[in-house]
Each structure stands twice: as C-alpha cells, then as structure tokens.
Amino acid sequence: MKRKKLEPGYSYQPHYNDAEGFFADKEIIFRSGGRAKVFKISSRLQVFLLLFIAAAAVWSFYSYHLYNKSGRIISYKNQELDATRDAYADLIGDFMNMHKNINEMLVLADSKKSANKKEIENYKLQASRVEDKIKQIAEEKDWVSNDIIKEKLNLNEAILQRDIAASERDELRRQINEMENVVDELKSAEMEVFDQVERIAGKEADKIKNAFGGINKALKRKGLYFNPLANRKSGKGGPYMPEPKTQLKDKALQKKISAIYKAADDLQYYREVSEYVPLGKPVWSYWVTSQYGTRSDPFRGKRASHKGVDLASRTGNKIKVQAHGRVTRAEYAGGYGNLVVVDHGNGFVTKYGHLNKIYVKKGQKVKLNDTLGEVGTTGRSTGPHLHYEVLFNGVDVDPMPFIKARAS
C-alpha cells in the first residue's frame, strides 16, 4: 500500500479535544444484564449539590460549636451554683455563731451588770452584715426560690417513686419466676406421686386378681368359674345435674388423675368382693393329714371320697372365718361332730367339722376373721383336727387353693 503524498506547503496538525470545565455535563453509565443505562448530570445540578454539601458542613460545624459552647456555659453555671451554695452554707454557719455569741454575751452582761456595749454593737453590726448578704444572695439566685425548691422536690419525689416502682416490678417479676419454677417442680413431684399411687393401687388389685385366678384353677376342674366382675353393675337415674367445669388446664395431669380414680375404684371393688370369698387359712397353725379327693378311710381302710381337707392342730386352737357371711348351721351333725356352716354369698359356702366348741349360732352374721369355735376331735375323728370344706354353687371343690391364696 502506497502512502499518500503530501502536497507542497502542507504540514500535519493533530487534533486535540479542548479540556472540559470542572462543572461540565457528566454521564454515569450503569451496565446490567448486557444492557447499559446512561444518566446525565447537568452542570447546574452539580453546582447545587456542591452548595448543599457545603451548607450542610457549615451548619454541622456551627451546631457543634454551639453545643460545645453551651456545655461550657452550663458547666460554668453549675460551678457558680455550687460555689454560691457553699457560700450560703458558710454564711448560715457564721450567722448562727454570731447569734450564739450575742446570746452568751447578753446573758453574761445581765448576770454581771458590766457588759461592754461597744463589743455588743460590733457583734450586732456583723450579724446585720451577714443577714444582708444572705438576703442579697437569696434575691439574686433563683435556686433558693421556694417555688423552684418545691418543684425540684416534687420532681425528685416523682423520680424516687418511679425508681421504687421499677424496683418493686423487677422484684415481683423475680418472685413470679421463682413461683413458676416452684410450680413446675411441684407439678413434676405430683406426677411422680400420682404414678406411685397408680402403681400401688394396680399392684394391690393384681394381688386380688391373682388370688381369684388361683381359686379358678380349682373351680375349672369341676367345670366352674368365678367371675368377680359379674356383679359390677349399677343402676342409673336421678335428676339431671350438669357436670361442673374442671379447673385443670393440664390435660396430662387430668388424665393421670382420672387413671388414679379408676385404679382406686377397681381396687376398692376387688377388695369388697374378696371380703366375701373365703381366701386364707382358717387355722393359724396346722399340718395337712388328708388331702381333698379320694383317700383311704381312716376307720375302714377302704378307698373313699373326701370332700374337704383335714388340718391337724392342737385342741383349743381358734378357727376363724375367712370371709363375711351368715351362719346357716351351728350344731352336732353325726360324723362331722360339732359342725358350723357359713354362707358367704356369690355361691360360696364353707364347712367346719369336728369342733371342740362352737362360738356362733344359726342365723348370726359373721365378719372376716371372726372366731367360729375351737379345734377338736368330735364326731368321726381319730384326733384333734379341722375338717374344712369349700363349696361353689353347691359343688364341693379343693379347699387348698383357697387356703394358699393371698388377697392382701
């Protein structure tokens, strides 16, 4: 490529852009997402912003200067006020001393009749000057004004009452927090106690249920079964009375209390039933000489049916009934000798044979652990013992499960 030849007399002059002024128009370019936006700032707007910033700076400096100057003035006034108060206190002290000295001199002059009038006049003059100074200070200084003093006292009282109220509020909050913590601890302790009560009630009810389970094993051999819940029925009726609203908001606690009531009701019911079922031994000390069922007859030596158990014991040992009931027989009955029969209800009947003495009468109501008589050897007997039978719904059953059962 050939360069273009310059014509004769021609010289190259490079072009320069003229320098722009400080307040020349400005452009601000923003790029975003591949796009560009241009904002122009005119020279007038630049001048206005600069003047605004300068004015704000001047105002800030002036405010700061006034603030410092006001602080110094206030500090100086406070110092002056403190000095005036000190001077006022000193003058009051001087005035009181002057009065005291004058009174002492007057007393002395009156007693000795030889007072120095010139000294008294000097004291009076000094006292007058002190009083004048006090009045002058009181007139010039507003802080000794009664209204201002009263206003300051009222303000201080209000501040004091506010501080007292705030302190009492904080103390009340602290006490409330402590009470809430105590309530939480008590609630936890209550739940533990309720759990323990429920477990105890459940264990007691389980003991009675196990006793009933033991005697039912003997009853099942005869095709019988005792259901302790068979009679747990209650009539319904009466006037309508709406249930009161409970105050307990803790559902867990309410549920636990309901469970305890149910466990207590169950325990109470099973206890009442057990008091009419002959559970336990009728003689405290004994040994078994003949079991229930088939045995060799003690007199003939042949196999024979034995409807009860023979509990050998010492003559005179007390025989006690193991359930509430009513005596249906209390008499001599041939081979049974002296016999007592007790009807306990619910189908249960017990028989006590060969008694040495009978303590009860026919038709008499007896309670659990009442004494029926004494161990003996009356009737068809080879020695002192108690012949003990248990019947359920008219059928004799093995008494040993009843003797070994423990309801409590």
Dist. CA 103–CA 25, nearest whole Å? 93
Beta bridge partners, 35, equal 32
Which token pair is 216?
């039912």
Q: What was the pLDDT predicted at 12? A: 47
Q: What was the pLDDT predicted at 399? A: 93
Dist. CA 70–CA 133, nearest whole Å? 30
What's the chain look like in SS3? Answer: CCCCCCCCCCCCCCCCCCCCCCCCCEEEEEEECCEEEEEEECHHHHHHHHHHHHHHHHHHHHHHHHHHHHHHHHHHHHHHHHHHHHHHHHHHHHHHHHHHHHHHHHHHHHHHCCCCHHHHHHHHHHHHHHHHHHHHHHHHCHHHCHHHHHHHHHHHHHHHHHHHHHHHHHHHHHHHHHHHHHHHHHHHHHHHHHHHHHHHHHHHHHHHHHHHHHHHHHHHCCCCCCCCCCCCCCCCCCCCCCCCCCCCCCHHHHHHHHHHHHHHHHHHHHHHHHCCCCCCCCCCCCEEEECCEEEECCCCCCEEEECCEEEECCCCCEEECCCCEEEEEEEECHHHCEEEEEEEECCEEEEEEEEEEECCCCCCEECCCCEEEEEECCCCCCCCEEEEEEEECCEEECCHHHHHCCCC
Dist. CA 9–CA 240, nearest whole Å? 132
Which token pair is 124?
């009076």
Q: At a CB cut-off of 8 Å and minimum separation 6, what does 109 contact? A: 115, 116, 120
CA distances from 296 to 147, 299, 337, 387 (A): 123, 9, 20, 16
Answer whether 349's CB lies under 8 Å from 365's CB: no
Crossing angle for the helix pair 43-112 and 117-140, to the nearest 10 degrees: 160
Sign of torsion, CA 113 118 120 121? positive
Answer whether 305's CB lies under 8 Å from 298's CB: no
List the chain residues with pLDDT less than 50: 1-2, 6, 10, 12, 113, 115, 143-144, 237-238, 240-241
Q: What was the pLDDT predicted at 295? A: 75
Q: What was the pLDDT predicted at 115? A: 47
Dist. CA 279–CA 406, nearest whole Å? 7
pTM score over 0.95:
no
CA distance from start to end of the chain: 129
Q: What was the pLDDT predicted at 1? A: 46
Dist. CA 383–CA 91, nearest whole Å? 125
Beta bridge partners, 365, equal 326
